[in-house]
A and B are shown apart, each in its own frame.
Chain A
Amino acid sequence: MFKTILLAASADHACDNAAKSAFRLADLTNAHITVFHVLGMPAHGFSQEVIDVKTGEKVEASEEYISWVKEEIKIYYAKQFEKTKSFDIKIAVGMPYREILREIKNGRYDIVTLGGTSKEKISVYKKHMLGSTVLRVAKASPIPVMVLCRPSSSFLKNISSILFCADFSKESDAAFNFAANLAKFFNCNLDIFNVADISPVFSKNIIEQDEIDSQISAAYKKIEEKYIPHTKNIIKTVANVCEGIPYVEIVKYAREKNSSLIVIAHHNKENENFGSNMEQIIVRSASPVISINK
């Protein structure tokens, strides 16, 4: 399923959960793993001095320094590297999300794994930009983006089910294909889940229950037409629709079902309120979230 996995991480605890799931994925798919570390922005004008993303200190991005960082990463992930088929380590200088995207563009990766958003060090160069590395990568990445902030249980042990969050957009169709393939590959259940968004309730208009009900039945129908025909080779596919605030319901549902992976589409409509749903799911979910936008 995956031949090469890009793990964008610095060798520290903030990325541990993401790293673990990446290595696990590599393990399961017998993939090559590339650990990618971004040193940070050149600190001053056009000099070579950079701010190390991990320590926040100013360092000269010299060759010695870079090989030292590589060595550090090797030591940090020594145990995991032992088990992987093959790996390499790459270092870049620049704005992390940008360099990760550049690496994705230039390399041949099947999936990229990123560490958490919550613990990111806020250094000065980021202050002028909105949004975190994860959201920016998720928005633009042409390949699936897997994110995990909290310690994951089921994915690391035993993959039992995949949760696909449907919203019937074009991106969502792509996400479905990906989720279905995963379910086939892991030979596990697929949960198709849709939430009739009632968050407007909290702003102004009240939605009649009738309207909600009709939304729900429409969603069931769509799932039936669009997705179910393509689930023949999957052990078991369950469709579920409910009303609520999307991220709350999704996280809840994933917990109930003990989902090992959540697959979700990232699309433009979230532009207005850039990725807030996505971000909430990522921060709250105990399972790795895979975002697809193409």
Chain B
Amino acid sequence: MYQFLTGFMFWVSVSIFFIGLFVRFIFYFTGLNWRLDRVAYKSYPFYGIKGALKSVFKWLFPFLTRVWRKHFFITIASFAFHVGAVIVPFFLLAHNVFIRGKLGIFHSIILNQLTADILSWLVVIGAVILTIRRIVLPQARILTRGYDYFILFLAVAPFITGLCARYEVGNYSFWLYSHIIFGEVFLIAAPFTKLSHLVLFFASRIQIGMDFEIKRGGMKSKNGMAW
């Protein structure tokens, strides 16, 4: 069982994850159409790139945009959640050891145990806050469907199971198996569900950045679009 999950399924899920997301990213851009979207994407590469970079960069860090400043709590919760969710899987020592076994690559940046723990907890806490927010705030409640909770669950499940395994709550191997399974489910699901925002977030931000910069006044105002 362990063999199957860490062997065959590992390869399958990782390939699906990377290839799938890559394909989605590429398809997003090949699917754009300057006439339908009414944006001259290719005619102004300088402004296009400038707008795209700014639009991504500003939103990638907390408090750089008006929204991030205005919605203080959700910004904190959201960044806590996302930062951990992106960093931990890549830089956790255990993952690294595992990957070395598989690929022979070992990268030098490794989280120490404490940081990893904190980040993981932040992910879980962030997820809890985001969930509560969805339940409590009317403007989030009306939009939220079961699917959204499901996606949140898919994202946080590997962390919960991972933490359980880490603290050896009850049956270690049960948690380990669950962790691996949920991790792989996540990887497989990513390209096909809303989890694809992992890359499509960037795609969409690049597009809107170009849109405003090239077409909607970016070239005319002093600083381009002020997000």
A and B touch in the complex (CB under 8 A): no
Q: Which residues of B approach A to under 8 Å, CB–CB?
A: none
